[in-house]
A and B are shown apart, each in its own frame.
Chain A
């Protein structure tokens, strides 16, 4: 498992203290050394490393597919592939690179590095990290494996219906994409929830928002973006999959659906996605560049502001992928203006970086070299992006190789190059070794020139009118030389990337042991021994500035000697500090779970839920869903305790409550942000409904649903009881009285609300019209959340009965209250939306 950490290379006179602390912490945090340890670990160092290797592996897969494409296009009328194979190859190249490489790769870097940067012992929800990893690995392997029997998705990575509807894509290729990618997104959402909670709550003492490392800011912004951008896409996949499986006509014009709905939902995700990929890389640049320039980041506050603005502005851009769909000019103009506006915060970042270089004394180590590669590439990508934001230009260049070249400049230049810089920069933390073999420089000089030759040529081909996604072309159109040049360049680039991977692998395996903090960085992740030990940080420091190691060069030794908080593991369990979001004052002691196979088993069961429908094994999927539910309850049950521990000694004379004995435990914060994703999903569903009502052909439907009397009466009383019951129960627990009246009231409320929703199901046939299908989905949303609330209420009852609740241990009741409120509120909104057209018709 984790490479056995060496003794921290201490030079101070108190060496035995540090060594003794290391020996006390290591057994508590280490994973099982046997083979099964890989499946039971939930330590961020192990999970991150597995994640990183898997993502790099899928980068190789995507790269091989890219080479197949360039081999096919190298000559006109190539007989290497026919259109059926070529369509699978380019679809999978895009899908693999976007979903199986780009997002997981930065998630891996985050899981590996974030706790160290923040001065925390692990991520907020270590088991969730492990669950996300296994979901990703199983889902990604399935999607890629579909290439072998030739069943891979073949409709382009943005899967536009009706081409992807059953009529035009009858095979399971499309289902593999829809179910597989949605399954992988479960892992992205779980990672995002825990990143937000980690950044907001799991920091070193005194690390206020202004002292937070810049990468933590970027990744916080990115995680919130994932929570708000992925749900529209997940909804789109749900709509399309239900259309394919159950014939609910969301995208079929003759029955009131609209193909454009997919494009809106897809690009509501797709454009923020570009920034979800770019911002972590920008965070790496903002972290690495100042160290390479031997200075600090110029305009820290400016860069934070730019990152936040980019994140929000990027949600106002989605229609610029739809400039050719016939949307009125004013609609296009909004998005054209917003598209040019995002260039401003981008420019602020770029000039903050150049200004940092200007004021520092840059050195040309390998990470710096890759950052220069980034500058050279990304600026060109930005300029072609501004060109495409101009509507009339886009009308010509749309769907040509010009767009292909633009997006590769932005994604490879803006993401891959900085991430390679980051891998080299952080290599000492991952492996404990300094780079010895100099293969990396050779690789750099193959990749960057190869890249530019390839994609300058591809730009050119696009301007000459070569369309993307055409499997071959005829001689005599003036495209032969350009495409040959692009293919040769791309093979040089691929050899370079292979050398990068080889270089990293060789240096990780056999190079010499390095010393602590080799680059002279100022942030906390460098305060540990190299490689990072299983517990990340021997004691949690009190920080007073943005660059604690720069302010106090002896800090690393003092941390190792246990002079921070929560040093000696007297309670013999994994503990870390929870702080206030704004000022970073110590608030709670969180107890982290130990090694367990639960996440792995639950990921296996989840994979059956998502993948069994591919072979029409619906019964297995249902059984697996019950298993997931049971495992999730087991997961939650293992937390908490039956007695109040009272204030815990955290060192430095601080006595803090356990996170299980506060009204806002980490699980409550996690629920808040998971519900943010849920409310976005619900909002997207309402948007889809409003969109169809406004724009779709063949509306209005033959009849609108009349509300009647019973439905609204049930729904209103149900929602009121569901909101009031958990409050009564929580108040009763707070006063050590029995919570049963409140719980029973809430359960009755959930049942009544579900009954109100069921009247909608009873009245309509979902295959008749897109309107009916939407009503079924709205009612389904209510039934699902009422069921969730009911399960949680029963669970809370069981916990109370077993003595897990007390006036201090009130957190679980408050979490259940949150979910019940959500079910009640969205239930009322959904039913109002369902009944409104009928009430006025």
Chain B
């Protein structure tokens, strides 16, 4: 079961981070967002956090690899994919307009 977790957790964490940032962006354009709080710095920090989480997961996998060579290779590749996905899919927080 731990190999199954090694294979599935990093990408699942990407999905969670992606959904949270999308939710945050929705919130920042809604009636509940506090007046005067700039959205972009908050979103940027969320992006950095999401990427840091992926890097931490990758580091944990490197420290604690699977005993099976196959599961080791695939889980590392997937963790790397998740890291790149976090970098790329959340990139819009830096470049596009927030609520238009």
A touches B (Cβ under 8 A): yes
Q: A-side interface residues toward B, CB under 8 Å?
A: 200, 208-210, 301-302, 304-305, 308-309, 312-313, 315-316, 319, 328-331, 333-334, 337-338, 341, 345, 581-583, 690, 693-695, 699
Tell yes or no: B4 within 8 A of A by CB: yes
Q: List 23 A-B contacts (CB under 8 A).
A: A209-B3, A209-B4, A209-B70, A302-B77, A305-B74, A308-B74, A315-B15, A316-B14, A328-B98, A329-B97, A329-B100, A330-B92, A334-B18, A334-B22, A334-B90, A338-B85, A582-B3, A582-B68, A582-B71, A693-B32, A694-B31, A694-B32, A695-B30
Q: How many residues of B contact A (CB 8 A)?
A: 44
Shortest CB-to-CB span from A60 to chain B, Å, is 38
Report, nearest first, the 4 A-B pairs whose CB atoms are least far apart: A210-B70, A333-B92, A312-B11, A582-B3
- Measured between alpha carbons, how far is A328 from B29 in the docked complex, in Å? 9
Pair A209/B18 contact, Cβ less than 8 Å: no
A328-B25, A337-B91, A694-B27 known; A301+B70 contact, CB < 8 A = yes
- A582-B89 in contact (CB<8A): no
Q: How far is the CA of A312 from the CA of B89 in the complex (A)?
A: 13
Q: Bound complex: CA of A694 vs CA of B31, how far in Å?
A: 7
Query: From residue B94, how far is it (CB to closest CB) to chain A in Å?
Result: 10
A674 to chain B, nearest CB (A): 17
Q: Cβ of B18: which chain A residues have Cβ within 8 Å of it?
A: 316, 334, 338
Q: How far, in whole Å, are A328 and B27 apart by their CA atoms in the complex?
A: 12
| B1 and A582 form a contact (CB under 8 A) | yes
CB-based contact A337/B30 at 8 Å: no
- Compute how far the CA of A333 lies from the CA of B81 in the bound complex, rounded to whole angstroms: 19
Docked-complex contact B2 and A582, CB < 8 angstroms: yes
- Report whether B81 and A309 are in contact in the complex, using a CB–CB cutoff of 8 Å: yes
By beta carbon, the residue of chain A nearest B39 is A330
- The residues of A that contact B95 with a CB separation of less than 8 Å are 333
Q: Does B8 contact A (CB under 8 A)?
A: yes
Q: Which residues of B contact A315 (CB under 8 A)?
A: 15
Contacts of B11 in A (CB 8 A): 308-309, 312-313
Residues A328 and B100 in contact, CB atoms below 8 Å apart: yes
Q: How far is the CB of A692 from chain B (nearest CB, A)?
A: 11
Task: Pick the residue among A331, A581, A583 that contacts B22 (CB under 8 A).
Answer: A331
The reply to whether A313 and B71 form a contact with Cβ atoms under 8 Å apart is no
- Taking a contact as CB atoms under 8 Å apart, the answer to whether B21 and A334 are in contact is yes
Residue in chain A with minimal CB distance to B85: A341
B51 interface residue per 8 A CB criterion = no
Q: How far is the CA of A22 from the CA of B69 in the complex (A)?
A: 39
* Residue among A208, A301, A302 with most chain B CB within 10 A: A301
| Residues on B with beta carbons closer than 8 Å to the beta carbon of A333 | 92, 95-96
Residues in B neighbouring A690, C-beta threshold 8 A: 23
Decide if B41 is an interface residue (CB 8 Å cutoff): no
A331 to B21 Cα, complex, angstroms: 10
B8 to chain A, nearest CB (A): 7
Q: Across the interface, which residues of B come within 8 angstroms of A699, CB to CB?
A: 31
A316 near B89: Cβ-Cβ < 8 Å = yes
Is chain A's interface secondary structure helix, strand, loop, or mixed overall? helix
Interface residues of B in 65-89 (CB under 8 A from A): 68-71, 73-74, 77-78, 81, 85, 88-89
- B96→A329 contact, CB < 8 A: yes
Instruction: Determine if A334 and B92 form an interchain contact, defined as CB atoms under 8 angstroms apart.
Output: yes
B93 sits at the interface (CB 8 A): yes
Interface residue ranges of B1-20 to A (CB < 8 Å)? 1-4, 7-8, 11-12, 14-15, 18-19
**Smallest beta-carbon distance B47→chain A, Å:** 11
Contacts of B15 in A (CB 8 A): 312, 315-316
Judging by beta carbons under 8 Å apart, are A330 and B93 in contact?
Answer: yes
Residue of A whose beta carbon sits closest to that of B75: A305
Partner of A209, one of B19, B68, B77, B81: B68
Nearest residue in A to B17 (C-beta to C-beta)?
A316
Cα distance A301–B93 in the bound complex, in angstroms: 33
Residue contact B89 to A304, C-beta cutoff 8 Å = no
Contact (Cβ within 8 A) B68 A208 = yes
Q: Is the CB of B1 within 8 A of A341?
A: no
Chain A neighbourhood of B88, CB < 8 A: 337, 341
CB distance from B77 to the nearest CB of A (A): 5
A210–B7 Cα distance when bound, in Å, is 12
Task: Please report the C-alpha to C-alpha distance between residue A287 and residue B36 in the assembled complex, in whole angstroms.
Answer: 58
Counting chain B CB atoms within 10 Å of each CB, the highest count among A302, A690, A693, A694 belongs to: A694
A694 to B24, CA, bound (A): 10
User: Which residues of the partner chain A approach B3 to less than 8 Å between Cβ atoms?
Assistant: 209, 581-582
Residues of chain B within 8 A (CB-CB) of A308 are 7-8, 11, 74, 78
Docked complex Cα distance between A693 and B32 (Å): 9
Give A208 to B99 CA distance when docked, in angstroms.
49
Q: Given A308-B11, A312-B12, A313-B85, does the pair A330, B98 have CB atoms closer than 8 Å?
A: yes
Q: A693 vs B31: C-alpha distance in the bound complex, in angstroms? A: 10
Q: By the criterion CB–CB under 8 Å, are B89 and A341 in contact? A: yes
Chain B residues, Cβ within 8 Å of A316:
14-15, 18-19, 89
Give, as a whole number of angstroms, the nearest-CB distance from A760 to chain B.
Answer: 23
